[in-house]
């Protein structure tokens, strides 16, 4: 899967979980840059992402996801 | 070079800001208002209101070998109603009044332990004067008006000395003290910081000197019409039974007191003082005291039977009863053998 | 030794002079370590031994974990270390007669250090003495801030040159801390203690007053300490994390915990809540709520031994869960009422809930807390003068004005750093300001004034 595709899917997931249909993301954004993405919604986003991509994140994967770009890379890695 | 100039400039500015404090420290060291920096032969003529516990102890150490003290009145300032010469009519010994302002049970135990630790110190007779609120204070107080010397409190000399130095810098002390140093005489604003009369205690027995008795005989009933008395009277105190205060910590302290008395074969009397506020000792606490000390030791004057003692005529101020009350108490407790 | 004591002032002065005597990393670290050992050992030698023991253990545990990243062995070593450290802390908290000062803080630092190594987010420190300084630096030893290894260890790798600006900024922060502690916290403390230590003999109005004011006392006390700790650290060239960010403007309890004791709440978020939530994520919202409850109960228990502290934490967790469940309803209400009015209501509501929860933190027995709740509106016993809580009208005014000043200055500081602003003032104005602050602290600070109450009338 391409990075851009993953980004689009993540955008849909965040829009669904955070109830913000018009949300825009880029690779450099982190949770601090996205309104509503905090420690309470974080695992819901992670969970939805795992369900969608049929993958399982380990704790150290979650820790390494500092930005959207990191998330995309880890997802692509998991799919290989 | 620039770094050195920066640091030098910083230190100079700090020194400039600190100069008033350095001057005050010099004044403190020279004047020694609390009489703790150096040792003295005479502790009774200092104009500054003292840590009475500390002064009691220092005087005891100063005169113990000369006076051969073997009996002690211990308690808070209520002990002023128990002059040693009257007490001595019953005990025929060499008494000394060892007291501290607003002493709690913890302070009292600590003083007695320290006496016990003194080499060759007999304790033939012990008269402990307590007040109802005292039983709630189980920990020794460590502020500069209550901290005891290192050989009593087992605190380090640094802690002891710095407590007084910090107390000196307390604005509530320092400002009246500086005013007094400048003016050279006592004014009403300095009451509680500077003594309006010295000496407050006798040299060898540490008994209170009480000009209030003279004032009462001069003024009569008007003595109790002074402003501070009127304020106290307006409160209309009613007899109140205090809640139980004695728990395991206080019981431990009492057992320790008993153990020391047993070791010295001390004739112990523990008096619970009458009080103007008509606070009554809880029977549960009384029962604990009786069970620890046994018969003919504990005498409770904070009860309904002795409410007549709470009459204002028996008091110099709302906190201190007169010698006549102390005399009556001593007559009762020593004639009940 | 407490920050506000002569022994500390002497220790800090000597340390500062020696520290900048040579611009050598080793020299500076030796001075700081020696000062830290004196500081910790001054209370009790046992505290120093315990801190050194935990430091040694953590240092070597970190190296061992690093050898086995992402393996079962590494997991085992990590969990054994966590159980050992947390277990030791629990024993000290609940069973030991002597609770080593600072242990809650440096234990958390140790745990975060080991966990970050396990997650391969951090390399173990090679220099034992740097690590010892990270764990035991006296400025933050007593009550934090809780610093992460990745933030503080790099700061120890270079010698700190004397910077006039940095040192004076540090000193100004210390002065601010002294103001908060002495003029606000210690001023009101005896009055609140009088009520909260004897709730069953206080009147309803006294209980209400004490309950409403206790958060301010607690905040001024702790924020004052933290300001001093950060200020002293800055004077030595270190930057510590802030602990508070104007918590009383929070519009929800969740927000409050992002502004109150931040180094603790962020620690708990990263090392308790997130891993737990991740483990329970398959349970969806139920997993989230369980994680929240466990996290906040852990925060409560961290503060003290006893059920009251656990209930304190539980209270916070329940409120946050409630806020999560009612998020939509609150947003609708906000639109109806208007943003400004809503903001005010929510700030007051958050403050009141926090004040009520703090009774579990402050009052010794659960039964006494519920007694307070039942009697908050009981009225007076004798007269309105009871509301004075034993403090004179003059000092109530001092306390009130000082509190207002605190809030105003914190608000202004959130827009532009006031400490930096003072640097642009002309020298005479600056000096008048400094002298003024010193006089205010000296005149209005509570220097153990309650101990002076032997003055009879």
Please check whether residue A1 touches C, CB under 8 A.
no
Same domain, C212 and C180: yes
Which pLDDT belongs to residue B232?
Answer: 85
Identify the weakest region by mean pLDDT among C191-205, C266-280, C334-348.
C191-205
Helix (H) or strand (E) holding B270: strand B267-272
Closest-CA residue to C159 (of C25, C346, C45)? C25
pLDDT in tens, B2-11: 556 689 989 9
**Mean pLDDT on B123-140:** 86
Compute the nearest-CA separation of B337 from chain C (Å).
36
pLDDT confidence of residue A38:
86
Instruction: Chain C: list its partners (3+ Cβ pairs within 8 Å).
Output: A, B
Q: pTM for the complete prediction?
A: 0.79
How close B6 comes to chain C (CA, Å)? Answer: 6
Cα separation, C210 vs C195, in Å, equals 7
Segment C32-36 long-range contacts (CB within 8 Å, at least 24 positions apart): C32/C133, C32/C137, C32/C138, C32/C236, C33/C129, C33/C132, C33/C133, C33/C136, C35/C11, C35/C138, C36/C133, C36/C136, C36/C137, C36/C138, C36/C141
pLDDT tens digits along A2-50: 889 999 999 999 999 888 888 888 889 988 888 888 888 899 999 999 9
Please tell me the distance from the alpha carbon of residue B216 to that of residue C427, in angstroms, as a whole number: 61
What are the DSSP calls for A17-77, one per residue?
HHT-TT----TT--GGGSTT-SHHHHHHHHHHHHHHHT----HHHHHH--SHHHHHHHHHH
The reply to whether residue B9 touches residue C164, judged by beta carbons under 8 angstroms, is yes
Q: Identify the pLDDT of residue C5.
A: 79
CATH number assigned to the domain comprising residue A22: 1.10.1200.10
Residue of A nearest to C288 (CA): A40
At residue C383, what are phi and psi to the nearest 5 degrees? -155, 170
Q: Which of B95-109, C27-41, C121-135, C403-417 has the lowest mean pLDDT?
A: B95-109
Looking at the domain assignment, is residue C396 inside a domain?
no
Query: What is the extent of the structural domain holding A75?
Result: 3-79
Asked if A46 and C278 come within 8 Å (Cβ–Cβ), the reply is yes
Within 10 Å of residue C155's Cβ, how many Cβ atoms? 18
- Give the number of A-C residue pairs with CB atoms closer than 8 Å: 37
Distance CA A67, CA C457 (A): 67
Minimal Cβ distance to A43: which of C121, C269, C278: C278
Question: Model confidence at C19, in pLDDT bands (50, 70, 90)?
Answer: very high
From B101's Cα to the closest Cα of chain C, the distance in A is 7
- The reply to whether C407 falls in a domain is no
* Nearest residue in C to A41, CA atom: C288
pLDDT in tens, B202-215: 999 999 999 899 99
Rounded to 5°, the CA angle C84-C298-C120 comes to 55
Residues C314 and C335 in one domain: yes
Shared domain check, B159 and B25: no
φ, ψ of residue C125 to 5 degrees: the values are: -75, 135
For position B5, what pLDDT does the model report? 64
The domain of B142 spans 35-334
**In this complex, do B170 and C452 lie within 8 Å of one another by their Cβ atoms?**
yes
| pLDDT > 70? residue A77 | yes
Q: Per-residue pLDDT tens for B23-76? A: 999 999 999 999 999 988 888 888 898 899 999 999 999 999 999 999 999 998
User: CA–CA separation, B276 vs B313, rounded Å?
Assistant: 10
* Whole-number pLDDT of residue B2: 58
- Chain A partners of C288 at a C-beta cutoff of 8 Å? 40, 43-44
Is C282 touching A (CB cutoff 8 A)? yes
Quick one: CA dihedral B69, B73, B75, B76, positive or negative? negative
Distance CA B165, CA C179 (A): 20
- Taking a contact as any Cβ pair under 8 Å apart, which residues of chain C between 345 and 404 contact chain A? none
Residues of chain C neighbouring B169 (CB-CB closer than 8 A):
447
Q: Is C20 helix (H, G, I), strand (E, B) or coil?
A: coil
C119 to A59: CB separation less than 8 angstroms, yes or no: yes
Q: Grade residue B231 by pLDDT with cuts at 50, 70 and 90.
A: confident
Please indicate whether, in this complex, the C-beta atoms of B192 and C6 are within 8 angstroms of each other: no
Note whether B5 and B148 are same-domain residues.
no
Is C49 domain-assigned?
Answer: yes
B307 alpha-carbon distance from chain centroid: 25
Residues of chain B found within 8 Å of residue C449, distances taken between Cβ atoms: 170, 172
Q: How far is CA B80 from the centre of its chain?
A: 10
Asked if A42's CB is within 8 angstroms of C274's CB, the reply is yes
Contact C32, C15 (CB under 8 A): yes
Per the DSSP assignment, residues forming a β-bridge with B300 are B272
Q: What is the largest CA-CA distance in chain C?
A: 73
Among B241-250, C74-83, C337-346, C445-454, which stretch is predicted with the lowest mean pLDDT? C445-454
Subunit contact B10:C167, Cβ cutoff 8 A: yes
Q: Which of C350, C375, C400 is the last residue of a domain?
A: C375
Same-domain status, C183 and C132: no
**B128 has which bridge partners?**
B74, B270
Q: What is the pLDDT at residue C9?
A: 87
Chains with 3 or more CB pairs under 8 A to chain A? C
Other Cβ atoms within 10 Å of B187 Cβ, number: 12
Residues 6+ apart with CB under 8 A from B272: B130, B131, B132, B281, B286, B298, B299, B300, B301, B302
Q: How far apart are CA B52 and CA B36, in angstroms?
A: 12
Predicted confidence (pLDDT) at residue C368 exceeds the cutoff of 90? yes
C-alpha–C-alpha distance, residues B28 and B168, integer Å: 7
* C325: contact with A, CB 8 A cutoff: no
C82 at interface of A, judged by CB pairs closer than 8 A: no
Distance CA C427, CA B283 (A): 68
Residue C438 has pLDDT above 50, yes or no: yes
A63 close to C (CB below 8 A): yes
Cα nearest neighbour of C254 on chain A: A40
Task: Please check whether residue A41 touches C, CB under 8 A.
Answer: no
Give the number of domains in chain B: 2
Task: Considering only the beta carbons, identify the residue of C6, C442, C453 that sits closest to B162.
Answer: C6
CB A63 to CB C284 under 8 A?
A: no
Same domain, yes or no, for B128 and B268?
yes
Question: What is the model's pLDDT at position B248?
Answer: 80
Counting other chains too, the contacts that C281-285 makes at CB distance below 8 Å and 24 or more residues apart are C281/A43, C281/A44, C281/A46, C281/A47, C282/A47, C284/A44, C284/A47, C285/A44
pLDDT at position B336: 55
Interface predicted TM-score (ipTM): 0.90
Q: Tens digit of pLDDT for each residue in B265-298?
A: 999 999 999 988 888 999 999 999 999 998 889 9
Is residue B159 less than 8 Å (CB to CB) from chain C? yes
Mean pLDDT taken over chain B: 89
Give the three-class secondary structure for B97. strand
Give B311-332 pLDDT, tens digit per residue. Answer: 889 999 888 999 999 999 999 9
Residue of A nearest to C273 (CA): A39
Omega before B199 cis (within 30°)?
yes
Question: Does B241 contact chain C (CB < 8 Å)?
Answer: no
Assess whether pLDDT exceeds 70 at residue C456.
no
B157 touches chain C (CB under 8 A): no
Domain that holds residue C367: 166-375
Does residue B265 sit in the same domain as residue B228? yes
Asked whether residue C131 falls in the same domain as residue C261, the answer is: no
Shared domain check, C170 and C147? no
Q: Are residues C107 and C177 in the same domain?
A: no
Say if C and A touch: at least 3 Cβ pairs within 8 Å. yes
CA dist., res. C241 & res. C400, Å (int): 29
Structure tokens at B280: 């009554």
Least confident of B55-64, B163-172, C312-321: B163-172
- CA B14 from chain centre, in angstroms, equals 40
**The token pair that represents C368 in the structure block:** 């006494």
Q: What is the DSSP letter of B194?
A: B
One domain, residues C273 and C325: yes
Q: Which two tokens stand for residue A42?
A: 């974080």
| pLDDT at residue B73, as a whole number | 96
Could C273 and A39 be called an inter-chain contact, meaning their C-beta atoms sit closer than 8 Å? yes
- Asked if residue C184 has pLDDT above 80, the reply is yes
Residues B3 and B148 in one domain: no
Whether C416 is covered by a domain: the verdict is no
What is the mean predicted confidence (pLDDT) over C168-176? 93
Residues B11 and B59 in one domain: no
Task: Render B63-84 in DSSP notation, one character per residue.
Answer: HHHHH---EEEEESGGGGGS-H
DSSP H helical ranges for C236-284: 253-259, 262-268, 274-279
pLDDT reading at B176 higher than 50: yes
Chain C interface, Cβ < 8 Å to B: 5-7, 20, 23, 161-164, 167-168, 201, 434-435, 438, 442-443, 445, 447-449, 451-457
Give A-chain residues touching C281 at CB under 8 angstroms.
43-44, 46-47
Is the CB of B165 inside 8 Å of chain C's CB atoms?
yes
Residues of B with CB below 8 A from C20's CB?
A: 7
Q: Does C260 touch chain A (CB under 8 A)?
A: no
CA distance linking residue B275 with residue C233, whole number of Å: 53
Q: How many CB atoms lie within 10 A of CB C2?
A: 11
A77–chain C Cβ distance below 8 A for any pair? no
Q: Are strands B95-99 and B71-75 parallel, antiparallel or unpaired?
A: parallel
Coil, strand, or helix at residue B206? coil
C228 and C242 together in one domain: yes
pLDDT tens string C286-315? 999 999 999 999 999 888 878 899 999 999
> Which subunits have 3 or more CB–CB pairs within 8 Å of chain B?
C
Q: Please report, in angstroms and rounded to a whole number, the separation of the first and last CA atoms in chain C.
A: 34
Mean of all residue pLDDT scores within chain C: 90
pLDDT exceeding 90 applies to what percent of chain C? 69
* Closest to C92 (Cα-Cα) out of C133, C53, C122: C53
The reply to whether residue C284 touches residue A47, judged by beta carbons under 8 angstroms, is yes
Task: Chain A: give the shortest CA distance to residue C60, in Å.
Answer: 22
Cα C279 from Cα C288, distance rounded (Å)? 10
Q: Answer whether residue C455 shows pLDDT above 60.
A: no
Distance, in Å, from the CA atom of C114 to the CA atom of B226, rounded to the nearest integer, reads: 71
Contact A47 C282 (CB under 8 A): yes
Whole-number pLDDT of residue C449: 40
Mean local confidence (pLDDT), C57-69: 94
pLDDT(B137) > 70: no
Give the SS3 label for residue C10: helix
Determine the pLDDT at residue B311.
84
Q: Is residue C264 part of a domain?
A: yes
Regarding whether C197 and C133 lie in a shared domain, the answer is: no
Q: Is residue C440 part of a domain?
A: no
Asked, for residue C273, whether it belongs to a domain, the answer is yes
pLDDT at C261 over 90: yes
Q: Which residues pair with B72 in a beta bridge?
A: B96, B126
Domain total of chain A: 1
How much is the pLDDT for B3?
A: 58
**Residue with token string 């997650």:** C119
Confidence check: pLDDT of B259 > 80: yes
CB-nearest to A62 from C254, C278, C282 is: C278
The closest CB to that of A59, out of C273, C275, C292, belongs to C275
Residue C386 covered by a domain: no
Kindly state whether residues B5 and B142 are assigned to the same domain. Answer: no
Strand partners, B143: none
Residue A60 forms contact with C (CB below 8 Å): yes
- Beta bridge partners, B315, equal B321
Q: Do C158 and C176 belong to one domain?
A: no
């Amino acid at each position: 899967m391409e990075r851009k595709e993953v980004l689009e899917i993540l955008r849909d997931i965040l829009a669904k979980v955070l109830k913000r249909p018009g949300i825009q993301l880029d690779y450099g954004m982190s949770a601090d840059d996205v309104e509503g993405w905090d420690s309470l919604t974080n695992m819901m986003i992670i969970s939805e992402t795992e369900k969608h991509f049929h993958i399982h994140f380990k704790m150290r994967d979650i820790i390494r996801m500092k930005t959207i770009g990191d998330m995309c890379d880890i997802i692509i890695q998991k799919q290989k | 070079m620039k770094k050195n100039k920066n640091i030098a400039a910083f230190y100079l500015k700090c020194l400039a800001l600190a100069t008033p404090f350095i001057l005050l420290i010099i004044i403190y060291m020279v004047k020694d208002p609390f009489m703790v920096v150096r040792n003295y032969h005479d502790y009774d003529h200092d104009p500054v209101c003292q840590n009475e516990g500390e002064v009691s102890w220092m005087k005891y150490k100063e005169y113990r070998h000369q006076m051969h003290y073997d009996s002690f009145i211990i308690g808070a300032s209520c002990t002023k109603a128990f002059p040693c010469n009257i007490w001595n009519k019953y005990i025929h010994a060499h008494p000394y009044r060892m007291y501290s302002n607003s002493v709690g049970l913890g302070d009292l135990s600590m003083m007695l332990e320290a006496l016990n630790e003194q080499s060759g110190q007999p304790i033939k007779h012990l008269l402990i004067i307590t007040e109802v609120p005292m039983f709630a204070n189980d920990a020794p107080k460590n502020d500069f008006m209550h901290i005891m010397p290192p050989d009593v409190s087992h605190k380090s000399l640094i802690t002891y000395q710095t407590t007084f130095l910090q107390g000196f810098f307390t604005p509530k002390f320092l400002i009246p003290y500086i005013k007094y140093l400048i003016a050279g005489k006592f004014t009403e604003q300095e009451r509680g910081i500077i003594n309006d009369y010295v000496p407050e205690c006798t040299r060898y027995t540490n008994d209170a000197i009480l000009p209030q008795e003279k004032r009462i005989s001069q003024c009569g009933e008007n003595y109790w019409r002074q402003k501070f008395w009127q304020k106290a009277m307006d409160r209309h105190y009613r007899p109140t039974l205090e809640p139980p205060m004695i728990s395991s910590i206080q019981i431990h302290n009492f057992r320790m007191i008993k153990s020391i008395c047993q070791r010295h074969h001390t004739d112990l009397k523990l008096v619970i003082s009458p009080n103007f506020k008509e606070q009554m000792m809880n029977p549960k606490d009384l029962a604990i005291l009786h069970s620890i000390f046994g018969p003919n030791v504990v005498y409770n004057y904070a009860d309904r039977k002795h409410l007549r003692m709470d009459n204002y005529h028996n008091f110099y101020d709302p906190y201190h009863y007169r010698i006549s009350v102390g005399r009556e108490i001593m007559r009762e407790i020593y004639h009940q053998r | 030794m407490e920050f506000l004591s002569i022994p500390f002032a002497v220790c800090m002065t000597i340390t500062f002079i020696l520290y900048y005597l040579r611009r050598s990393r080793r020299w500076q670290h030796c001075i700081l370590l020696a000062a830290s050992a004196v500081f910790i050992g001054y209370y009790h030698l046992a505290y120093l031994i315990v801190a050194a023991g935990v430091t040694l253990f953590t240092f070597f545990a970190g190296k061992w974990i690093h050898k086995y990243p992402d393996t079962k062995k590494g997991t085992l070593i990590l969990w054994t270390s966590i159980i050992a450290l947390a277990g030791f802390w629990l024993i000290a908290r609940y069973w030991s007669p002597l609770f080593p000062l600072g242990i809650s803080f440096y234990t958390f630092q140790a745990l975060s250090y080991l966990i970050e190594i396990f997650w391969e987010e951090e390399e173990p420190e090679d220099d034992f003495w740097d690590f010892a300084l990270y764990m035991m630096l006296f400025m933050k030893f007593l009550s934090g801030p809780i610093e992460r290894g990745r933030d503080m260890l790099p700061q120890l790798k270079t010698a700190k040159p004397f910077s006039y600006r940095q040192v004076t900024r540090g000193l100004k922060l210390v002065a601010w801390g002294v103001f908060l502690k002495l003029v606000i916290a210690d001023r009101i403390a005896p009055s609140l203690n009088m009520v909260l230590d004897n709730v069953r003999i206080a009147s309803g109005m006294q209980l209400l007053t004490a309950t409403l004011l206790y958060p301010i006392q607690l905040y001024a006390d702790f924020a004052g300490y933290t300001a001093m700790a950060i200020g002293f650290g800055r004077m030595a060239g270190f930057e510590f994390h802030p602990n508070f960010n104007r918590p009383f403007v929070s519009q929800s309890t969740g927000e409050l915990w992002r502004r109150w004791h931040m180094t603790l709440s962020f620690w708990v978020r990263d090392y308790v809540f997130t891993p737990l939530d991740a483990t329970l994520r398959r349970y969806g919202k139920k997993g989230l709520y369980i994680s929240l409850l466990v996290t906040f109960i852990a925060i409560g228990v961290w503060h003290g031994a006893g059920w009251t502290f656990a209930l304190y934490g539980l209270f916070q967790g329940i409120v946050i869960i409630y806020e999560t469940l009612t998020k939509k309803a609150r947003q609708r209400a906000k639109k109806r009422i208007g943003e400004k009015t809503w903001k005010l209501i929510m700030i007051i509501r958050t403050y009141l809930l926090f004040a009520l929860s703090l009774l579990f933190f402050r009052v010794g027995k659960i039964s006494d807390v519920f007694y307070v709740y039942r009697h908050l509106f009981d009225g007076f016993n004798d007269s309105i003068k009871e509301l004075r809580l034993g403090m004179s009208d003059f000092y109530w005014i001092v306390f009130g004005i000082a509190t207002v000043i605190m809030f105003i200055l914190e608000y202004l500081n959130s827009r532009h750093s006031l400490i930096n602003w003072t640097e642009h003032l002309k020298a005479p104005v600056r000096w008048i300001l400094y002298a003024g602050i010193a006089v205010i602290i000296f005149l209005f600070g509570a220097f153990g004034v309650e101990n002076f109450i032997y003055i009879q009338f």
